[in-house]
Structure 1
Amino acid sequence: MRVELVLKNRLKVARAEKELSQGALAEMVGVSRQTISSIETGQFCPTAKLALVLCVALDKKFEDLFYFE
């Protein structure tokens, strides 16, 4: 039996706490607004580097922002 882990995130909530638009966060981390949207909706899984850059930008620990389901 194989268990498939799906990476989920709390990016939208964390972004809202900082009162940042998708565009503003995207500019801070060097990606497009569409990339941020795709991560938030689960259509795109960020690289480890981008995930960590997002954590720094939002002042969150990795485990507070990303989790497996």
Structure 2
Amino acid sequence: MDVRQTIGWNLRRIRVEKGLSQERLALEASIDRAYVGRVERGQENVTVSTLEALANALHAHVSEFFAEVEDGAKWPEALPSGRRPKSS
């Protein structure tokens, strides 16, 4: 796995753990949603400034994006589609 794929895998893992959609993360980080998707797929050479914006939006440290991914690790599951039910 190359560095772009490692960053993307960890970005998706952290985002899913926090329960944020790509759209919500993009909004919080002031980044285009499609760009977030490309970063997660390892298709973009992301800048340090963008990593910082993503980390801030996720309340995470930039170093978490570089965590080694174990061989055979399962791709983080997608969040359920659709809107969350309104709370009373």
TM-score range, shorter chain: 0.7 to 0.9
Normalised TM-score (structure 2): 0.64
Normalised TM-score (structure 1): 0.80
Root mean square deviation of aligned Cα: 1.9
In structure 2, the residue matched to 1:44 is 44
Q: Secondary structure at the match of 2:25?
A: helix
> Shift of the alpha carbon at 1:22?
0.4
**What is the aligned residue count?**
65
Identity of aligned residues (%): 29
Max radius of gyration: which structure?
2
Segments of 4+ moved more than 3 angstroms: none
Q: 1:31, 1:14 → 2: CA distance?
A: 17
Unmatched 5+ residue regions in structure 2?
70-88
- Larger strand proportion of the pair: 1
Q: Is the aligned partner of 1:57 residue 2:57?
A: yes
